[in-house]
Amino acid sequence: MKDVVLVSFPSVTLPCIQTRPDLDNSKVYKFELTKMHPVLTAAVVVFIFVAISIRASQGCSYKPCDLGYIKSEVSGTCIKWSQDTKTWQKARDECKKDKGDLIKVLDGKTNHFLLEFAGISYGFYWIGLNDIKEEGKFRWLDGDDEVGATFWRSGSSHHGNKDERDCVAMRVSFFGGCKQWFIFKCSTNRHYICEKTPECAIGYYGEGCKMKCNETCAGQNNPCNPVNGTCDQGCDPGYQGVFCSKKCDEGFYGGGCTKSCKEKCNGDTYCNPIDGFCYCRIGTYGQNCSMTTKSSSWTKNGTIISAVLVVAVIAVSAAFALGSFLWRGRLSS
């Protein structure tokens, strides 16, 4: 007999987790455990829920893909199958409106991913491959990228064609399969596949969104420029510079380092660059360093106080010596 632990995961969207539309995200998953002590069984269940909680609480370096796009597990990019029909160039223009471009199918894994998620969206779809720049030399979009894996239609004479067929479309079959590439005139209206890099989540920047913004960038979650990491919304109080990595110059504090310590702290003093707390220099003390040792009663009556201290020290020393003398005499008797 085996213990059966039923764990139900409600249909929720967790950070950094891309759900697949073809799966039921609310199903009940059954874990069959070999018969074990109830305490161990409970520990396994607790471990499962703790792991889920930790995964859900982790930060994301990317924002989720926009509505209509699906995250590619292969390239990490966001992909959309558009059912509109446009010329190759107008299809590119539409993709660029979403800060993307026509898709690059650089390997068999990407091609398989498109096959898996194409669903019933059959037809011909523009991709980024073309030989517009040089007849017979196919490139991805406007660059000189290597074509990589190819999936031409069997028997297709795609090299050195002298006609106006310069743009490539992928065929998605109703019965599955999108391995065949066809060449069409770029003026032909076809469906198209857009691809774009997901935007960095707030607090991340750089290639692959792997860099974290400086923690002193102003704003919730420390936002910064997703390309170069500059703190476009300013710095937290006490910091300055485009990356907010430098503390305020001595004598200034607060947001933008525009407040002067001299306006808050009395005399020749300096303050905390964040909140302006006054640090008193030697010879000053009190709130805002407004008191000086020169004006204190200790200074005014310094001679009297010094004399009193000298007499006190002599009296204590004498008493200690007398006590020692008497103690030794008592021991000797």
pLDDT digits (tens, 9 = 90+) for 195-254: 999 889 999 999 888 899 999 999 999 999 999 999 999 999 999 999 999 999 988 999
Sorted by sequence, the CB contacts under 8 Å of residue 22 that are 6+ apart come out as: 117, 119
Q: Note the pLDDT tens digit of each residue in 292-302.
A: 776 544 444 55
Tokens 């590119």: give the residue: 92
pTM above 0.75, yes or no: no
Residue type, 129: L
Tokens 């003026």: give the residue: 187
Q: How many CB atoms lie within 10 A of CB 279?
A: 12
What's the CA dihedral at 229, 235, 241, 246 to 10 degrees? -110
Q: Please, which pLDDT band fits residue 110 given cuts at 50, 70 and 90?
A: confident
Structure tokens that stand for 333 in this block: 């008797």
What is the overall mean pLDDT for the chain? 76
Give the strand pairing for 78-86 and 70-71.
antiparallel
User: How confident is the model over 163-184, as a mean pLDDT?
Assistant: 78
What is the reported pLDDT for 274?
92
CA distances from 237 to 17, 232, 254, 257, 264 (A): 35, 15, 4, 7, 16
Among the listed ranges 13-27, 124-138, 148-162, 205-219, which one has the minimum average pLDDT value? 13-27
Beta bridge partners of 81: 193
What is the reported pLDDT for 244?
96
Among the listed ranges 26-30, 257-261, 287-291, 322-326, which one has the minimum average pLDDT value? 26-30
pLDDT of 61 strictly over 50:
yes
Beta bridge partners of 172: 123
| Per-state percent for the chain, helix, strand, coil, to nearest 5 | 25, 25, 50
pLDDT of 318 strictly over 50:
yes
pLDDT of 182 strictly over 70:
yes
What is the reported pLDDT for 208?
82
Name the residue among 64, 153, 138 with its Cα closest to residue 104: 138
The larger pLDDT score, comparing residue 131 to residue 12, is at 131
User: How confident is the model over 144-168, as a mean pLDDT?
Assistant: 71
